[in-house]
Amino acid sequence: MNKQESTDFDNNLSGNIGGGIGIELGKRNERLTVLRLLKDNPAEKVGLLVSDIVTAVNDESVEGLSVEETVVKIRGDVGTTVKITV
C-alpha cells in the first residue's frame, strides 16, 4: 500500500472515517448498489433505498469506479453536503 492507502486503511479499522451518509455500498451486476441502510442516518432520512443503483456523486459519473473509489467520493467532513444520483 502507498501512504494514502495505509492511512485510509487505518482510519477504516479505527472507525475514523469522517462523515458518511449511512449506507453499505457494493457491486451487484457490475453496478454500484446500496446494500444496506444504517438507521437514523442521512441516506435513510432522504429516502435512499436498498437496491438503489448509484450512478453519480456530486454530478460526476461513478461508472467504472470501484466501491472504494466511490466511497471516498461520498465521504466528507461531518456536516458537509454530498449529492448522490440514483
Residue with more model confidence, 17 or 49:
49
Residue with more model confidence, 63 or 3:
63
DSSP alpha helix (H) spans, the chain: 3-14, 42-46, 67-74
Residue with more model confidence, 61 or 4:
61
Q: What percentage of the chain exceeds 70 in pLDDT?
A: 84
Cell numbers that stand for 2 in this block? 502507498
